[in-house]
């Protein structure tokens, strides 16, 4: 398996060569040259496997330059009952026949991103041990990537994490999860701005190829292909748990901001998983919903990004969307470059009325949007009807998913996080605080360690150089 760039400017590389890199040298995103096809007979062989066995079968198809024994060991060390509170990773919670929530938030930071990030941390450590190199990870978070990355990388040899977050825009719980970490290899940078400012800084640094090479810059944001790959596994897990035979189809409802989580579903569908619909749910920042409704992709300016009660989705520039457009164009790198030349200049593109727009329906995507009143009502309704408490992002997914639900097609909503991370919204919905897992009782009162900076890529680079003196 080799990887190429969505923009055509990178020679084919093996998995281990793109694992640590983030953006390709041409500014594009790494993509596999082909998707490994899994036949109905192949699905039969995967059904019934443990999560660890399933992860190996999926990931090994994309990471075939890692010896099988090593990959099995990395996966076994990642998906443990100790880290994920149960022997069953990603358990399916059935609300009623044909309606399910895929439980993805039982990891150390109580968010779905732990499932990919814990694997990424172990893969990074494995790769660095082979070369003896150091890695400086630069990331941006709207709330969940940051804690998941920091808890996965804390204390790992040869790794430093520089995590950008929008000052004052995350929940108190999310902020405390990150800023209370005192590990010397973790650096939290609160940016005066919104998430898109943080993401733009990460891209600007990643596009400075000389700086990136000199200071060994890597990324854990979902522009990193290994993140998408790890998330693809739980689509297979959810499908097998919700069906009895591989002749059945399911639909997935996915709360979406940066298009990473639902991109993993797109990959699973391209591999042959019988997914009927990929239901994309946005909050008030409805850039992706606008595209799937109209054909126009118009990332918003910073001032237009709305701060909402599902803050991890407060994103107006969906980095992973380029991966879908790459497939939509038939992997036409010249077309992708043309479209993103407009986007990178702050513009938009519109494919309505073109053959590309006609092809969108072939990929199974539908979409919808939610708002504060709807998510609060959904949290309350799901609790009252099923006795299950969900967080605001999962509520957005359920709200939009139910609008697209079809008779005879199981609907699986991907859980985003545990409700405790968003207690203000839970109190508004049901009148009292959600329960806290053991160990999180006094999180917000712990000492916090972070710096505040303007949205300035050069200032961030200077800070990184200051903290990494001795690396060249």
Q: What is the DSSP letter of 306?
A: P
Please classify residue 409 by burial: count the beta carbons closer than 10 Å to its beta carbon, then call 0-12 exposed, 13-18 middle and 19+ buried.
Answer: middle
Give the C-alpha distances (Å, rounded to integers) separating 162 from 126, 137, 317.
Answer: 20, 6, 21
Q: In 10 A of CB 158, how many CB atoms? A: 18
SS3 219: coil
Q: Of 162, 167, 243, which is closest to residue 202 (Cα–Cα)? A: 162
In this structure, the strands spanning 217-218 and 365-369 are unpaired
Give the C-alpha distances (Å, rounded to integers) separating 460 from 188, 196, 351.
Answer: 11, 15, 36
CA distance 362 to 384: 37
SS3 290: helix
Please classify residue 422 by burial: count the beta carbons closer than 10 Å to its beta carbon, then call 0-12 exposed, 13-18 middle and 19+ buried.
Answer: buried
CA distance 309 to 367: 20
Contact 389, 415 (CB under 8 A): no
CA distance 45 to 14: 27
Q: Of 36, 29, 23, 52, which is closest to residue 267 (Cα–Cα)? A: 36
Backbone torsions φ then ψ of 259, nearest 5 degrees: 70, 10
What are the catalytic residues?
113
Cβ neighbours for 152, distance < 8 A, ≥ 6 positions apart = 114, 117, 118, 120, 121, 220
In this structure, the strands spanning 217-218 and 411-414 are unpaired
């Amino acid at each position: 398996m080799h990887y190429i760039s969505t923009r055509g400017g990178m020679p084919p590389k093996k998995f281990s060569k793109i694992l640590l890199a983030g953006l390709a040298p041409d500014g594009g995103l790494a993509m596999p040259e082909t998707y490994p096809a899994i036949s109905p007979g192949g699905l039969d062989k995967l059904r019934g496997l443990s999560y660890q066995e399933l992860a190996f079968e999926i990931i090994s198809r994309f990471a075939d330059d890692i010896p099988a024994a090593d990959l099995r060991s990395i996966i076994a060390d990642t998906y443990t009952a100790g880290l994920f509170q149960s022997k069953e990773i990603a358990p399916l919670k059935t609300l009623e026949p044909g309606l399910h929530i895929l439980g993805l938030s039982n990891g150390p930071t109580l968010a779905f991103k732990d499932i990919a990030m814990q694997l990424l941390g172990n893969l990074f450590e494995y790769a660095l041990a082979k070369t003896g190199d150091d890695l400086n990870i630069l990331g941006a978070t709207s709330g969940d990537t940051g804690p998941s990355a920091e808890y996965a990388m804390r204390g790992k040899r040869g790794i430093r994490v520089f995590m950008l977050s929008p000052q004052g825009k995350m929940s108190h719980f999310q902020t405390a999860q990150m800023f209370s970490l005192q590990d010397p290899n973790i650096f939290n940078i609160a940016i005066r701005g919104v998430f898109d400012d943080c993401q733009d800084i990460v891209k600007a640094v990643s596009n400075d190829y000389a700086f990136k090479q000199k200071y060994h810059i890597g990324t854990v944001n979902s522009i990193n292909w290994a993140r998408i790959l790890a998330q693809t596994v739980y689509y297979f897990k959810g499908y097998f748990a919700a069906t009895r035979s591989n002749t059945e189809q399911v639909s997935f409802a996915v709360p979406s901001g940066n298009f990473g989580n639902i991109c993993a579903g797109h990959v699973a569908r391209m591999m042959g998983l019988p997914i009927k619909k990929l239901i994309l749910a946005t909050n008030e920042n409805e850039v992706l919903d606008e595209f799937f409704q109209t054909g126009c992709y118009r990332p918003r300016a910073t001032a237009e990004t709305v701060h909402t009660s599902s803050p991890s989705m407060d994103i107006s520039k969906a980095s992973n969307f380029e991966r879908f457009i790459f497939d939509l164009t038939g992997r036409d790198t010249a077309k992708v470059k043309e479209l993103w030349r407009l986007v990178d200049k702050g513009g938009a593109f519109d494919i309505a009325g073109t053959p590309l727009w006609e092809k969108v329906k072939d990929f199974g995507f539908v979409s919808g949007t939610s708002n504060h009143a709807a998510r609060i009502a959904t949290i309350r309704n799901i609790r009252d009807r099923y006795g299950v408490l969900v967080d605001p992002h999962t509520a957005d997914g359920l709200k939009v998913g139910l609008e697209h639900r079809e008779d005879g097609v199981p609907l699986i909503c991907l859980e985003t996080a545990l409700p405790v991370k968003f207690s203000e919204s839970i109190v508004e919905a049901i009148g009292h605080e959600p329960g806290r897992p053991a160990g999180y009782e006094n999180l917000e009162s712990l000492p916090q360690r972070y710096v505040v900076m303007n949205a300035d890529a050069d200032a961030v680079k200077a800070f990184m150089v200051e903290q990494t003196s001795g690396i060249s």
